[in-house]
A and B are shown apart, each in its own frame.
Chain A
Amino acid sequence: MSDKVLMKGNEAIAEAAIIAGCRHYFGYPITPQTEIAAYMAKRMPKIGGTFLQAESEIAAINMVYGVSATGKRVMTSSSSPGISLKGEGLSYLAGADLPALVVNVQRGGPGLGGIQPSQSDYFQATKGGAHGDFHMLVLAPASVQEMAELTVKGFALADKYRMTSMILADGTMGQMMEPVSLSFDIEEAPAKPWAVTGTKLERPHNIVNSLFLKPEELERTNFERYERYKYIEENEVMYEEYMMEDAEICVAAFGIAARVSKNAINEARAKGIKVGMIRPITLWPFPTKQFAAAAEKVKAFVSVELSMGQMIEDVRLAVNGKAPVTLCNRAGGMIPAPEQVLAAIEAANKGGN
């Protein structure tokens, strides 16, 4: 245990990013993720990196675009309203096939909302995030250790597929401290022959761009991108199953909701209810096959969310009508108590909605 230190989730993300080779951070402060920027402000100058507090979130995401075009690992972080501001840049990154890591430590919304934890940016994160046909890889940590591990993984996936990886966390994950081990095997970033690094008059110009005025050409880039997405959906799904072996009820939850649900599941098990959980770790690609397989054997699903019910739509699509899917939720910065989740499990077990 001695190699473990207590760190806030936000700090774990920042340190893991540095370990993963990120030397460029651009951001703008917003609760509850400001510790990421604060950590980078302290550390980056000491290791020859760049920390820059941009004049706005929009500026920060465009700085990310610029550094990514040169082939360097780069990130930004924000919380819900700030992520909305970054939307245009996220679409441009997708259109130009640039890798980046973007962290969203979610807070309640809509609008300026509040500053307490939320998961109500699920739609925004998993269904694109801005205009145009595109996806981001969306990673949902449920512990401080995963905040670090998925940051490292996020950089690797972003480089591999030339996409944005988004860490979709929430206020509790950002603020809580847990023991974390920061020893990782870091894969070297792949070669980036597309990067704009200067031709030295030895090769043709590389052009990084998301403007395609010929529709045939733009269509081709979309179809090619979706071929890649299809491959990712088949190869990069991550999830955790908890007590699913003999489960008759399946809880679907990610992040902090999964942590609360585990308490409820343990209590329900003590009462003799056979309940388990599928916890998506990648929200896109979504563990559709795993939920479809569970639908063959369980009698009901309960989607536990800190939103008005967003992930539940993907659960229902996967379950495809084979079993009822009910929602157990709080919103606006509130967190479901284990008792509330337990009651939802008991209701599902009785067959009620």
Chain B
Amino acid sequence: MKTTQYLFAGFGGQGILFAGKFLAYQGLNDGKNVSWLPSYGPEMRGGTASCSVIISDIPVGSPIVSNPDVLIAMNLPSLDKYESTVAPGGTIFVDSTLISRKVTRTDVTVHYIPATQMASDNKTPTLANMIIMGKVLAESGTFEDEEKVLAALQKVISAKRADMLDVNLGALRLGKDYQG
């Protein structure tokens, strides 16, 4: 019986909610119980946007994540705000292009990925979210079956934008293969 609580946080416009929804569909397609809860309100407009995703073998109780097992921080205010809330033994993924400082916690695993720089180099500047997500999936062992990844992508990318499937998959692969 396993429950994993994810917290994604960054600027509005970085695709935080999209990445979270993609992850939730990954869980749903695997037959897990899932919930997705966004922050809403004025903080989204230019400030921090965040979303809580829970993937669980048992029905999800509260959808609110206050002590994430996995924190994905895509800007400095998010790391400053949420670093201390991560569950001991948890994992933090840091976009090291936008966050120059290191994580100070010593009881968590940290992955530094220059996702924004990699996205820019890849000529897909809006897909830093999916690059970092590729690393998240790889570390959680859910990137073994690319068909499953594609199935989840198809749920979050409308048929009209099918050309974006490969682009997103490419971004996920970049993150997966990144060795920091």
Interface residues of A (CB under 8 A from B): 1, 4-6, 31-32, 115-116, 171-172, 175-179, 256, 259-260, 262-263, 266, 335, 337-338
Closest to B58 in A: A266
Using A259-B63, A335-B64 as known contacts, say yes or no to A6 and B41 having CB atoms under 8 A apart.
no
How far does the Cβ of A257 sit from chain B's closest Cβ, in whole Å?
A: 9
How far does the Cβ of B33 sit from chain A's closest Cβ, in whole Å?
A: 8
In the complex, the number of residue pairs spanning A and B with C-beta atoms less than 8 Å apart equals: 61
How far does the Cβ of A265 sit from chain B's closest Cβ, in whole Å?
A: 9
Q: Which residues of B contact A4 (CB under 8 A)?
A: 28
- Is A177 touching B36 in the complex (CB atoms < 8 A)? yes
- Is A171 touching B40 in the complex (CB atoms < 8 A)? yes
Closest to A177 in B: B36
- Is B34 touching A179 in the complex (CB atoms < 8 A)? yes
In the complex, what distance in Å separates the CA atom of A1 from the CA atom of B64? 23
- Is B63 touching A262 in the complex (CB atoms < 8 A)? no
Using A6-B155, A115-B41 as known contacts, say yes or no to A263 and B36 having CB atoms under 8 A apart.
no
Q: Which residues of A contact B24 (CB under 8 A)?
A: 6, 177
- Is B34 touching A6 in the complex (CB atoms < 8 A)? yes
- Is B29 touching A1 in the complex (CB atoms < 8 A)? yes
- Is A172 touching B21 in the complex (CB atoms < 8 A)? no
Mark interface residues in B24-42 (1 if CB within 8 Å of A CB, else 0): 1100110101111110110
B 79-120 contacts with A by CB, 8 A: none
Partner pick for A31 among B21, B34, B40, CB 8 A cutoff: B40
Partner pick for A176 among B25, B31, B37, CB 8 A cutoff: B37
How far does the Cβ of A300 sit from chain B's closest Cβ, in whole Å?
A: 22
Mark interface residues in B6-38 (1 if CB within 8 Å of A CB, else 0): 000000000000000100110011010111111
How far does the Cβ of A275 sit from chain B's closest Cβ, in whole Å?
A: 14
Using A6-B28, A337-B66 as known contacts, say yes or no to A175 and B40 having CB atoms under 8 A apart.
yes
In the complex, what distance in Å separates the CA atom of A116 from the CA atom of B31? 31
Interface residue count for B (Cβ, 8 Å)?
Answer: 21
Partner pick for A32 among B33, B34, B35, B40, CB 8 A cutoff: B40
Q: Which residues of B contact A338 (CB under 8 A)?
A: 61-62
Q: Would you call B164 an interface residue if the criterion is a C-beta within 8 Å of the partner chain's C-beta atoms? A: no
Interchain residue pairs with CB less than 8 A apart (25): A1-B28, A1-B31, A6-B28, A6-B34, A6-B36, A6-B155, A32-B40, A115-B40, A116-B41, A175-B37, A175-B38, A175-B40, A176-B36, A176-B37, A177-B35, A177-B37, A178-B35, A178-B60, A178-B63, A256-B62, A259-B63, A260-B61, A260-B62, A337-B66, A338-B62
- Is A176 touching B63 in the complex (CB atoms < 8 A)? yes
Between B21, B28, B34, the greatest number of chain A beta carbons within 10 A of the residue's beta carbon is seen for: B28
Sample of 16 more A-B contacts, CB < 8 Å, known A115-B40, A171-B40, A337-B66: A6-B21, A6-B25, A6-B36, A31-B40, A172-B37, A176-B35, A176-B36, A177-B21, A177-B24, A177-B36, A179-B28, A260-B61, A260-B64, A263-B61, A263-B62, A338-B62
How far does the Cβ of A23 sit from chain B's closest Cβ, in whole Å?
A: 25
How far does the Cβ of A347 sit from chain B's closest Cβ, in whole Å?
A: 20
Closest to A179 in B: B28
In the complex, what distance in Å separates the CA atom of A178 from the CA atom of B61? 12
B 45-61 contacts with A by CB, 8 A: 60-61
Between B21, B36, B63, the greatest number of chain A beta carbons within 10 A of the residue's beta carbon is seen for: B63
Closest to A259 in B: B62
How far does the Cβ of B36 sit from chain A's closest Cβ, in whole Å?
A: 4
Sorted nearest first, the 9 A-B pairs with minimum C-beta distance are: A177-B36, A263-B61, A262-B61, A260-B62, A176-B37, A259-B62, A263-B62, A176-B63, A115-B41
Using A6-B34, A116-B41, A177-B21 as known contacts, say yes or no to A259 and B61 having CB atoms under 8 A apart.
yes
Q: Which residues of A contact B63 (CB under 8 A)?
A: 172, 176, 178, 256, 259
In the complex, what distance in Å separates the CA atom of A178 from the CA atom of B24? 9
In the complex, what distance in Å separates the CA atom of A123 from the CA atom of B36? 29
How far does the Cβ of B51 sit from chain A's closest Cβ, in whole Å?
A: 9
Q: Which residues of B contact A335 (CB under 8 A)?
A: 64
In the complex, what distance in Å separates the CA atom of A259 from the CA atom of B60? 8
In the complex, what distance in Å separates the CA atom of A102 from the CA atom of B29? 34
Using A4-B28, A6-B24, A115-B41 as known contacts, say yes or no to A178 and B64 having CB atoms under 8 A apart.
no
Closest to B33 in A: A179
Closest to B151 in A: A2
- Is A262 touching B62 in the complex (CB atoms < 8 A)? yes
In the complex, what distance in Å separates the CA atom of A337 from the CA atom of B37? 15
How far does the Cβ of B41 sit from chain A's closest Cβ, in whole Å?
A: 5
Q: Which residues of B contact A116 (CB under 8 A)?
A: 41
Q: Which residues of A contact B37 (CB under 8 A)?
A: 172, 175-177
Q: Which residues of A contact B155 (CB under 8 A)?
A: 5-6
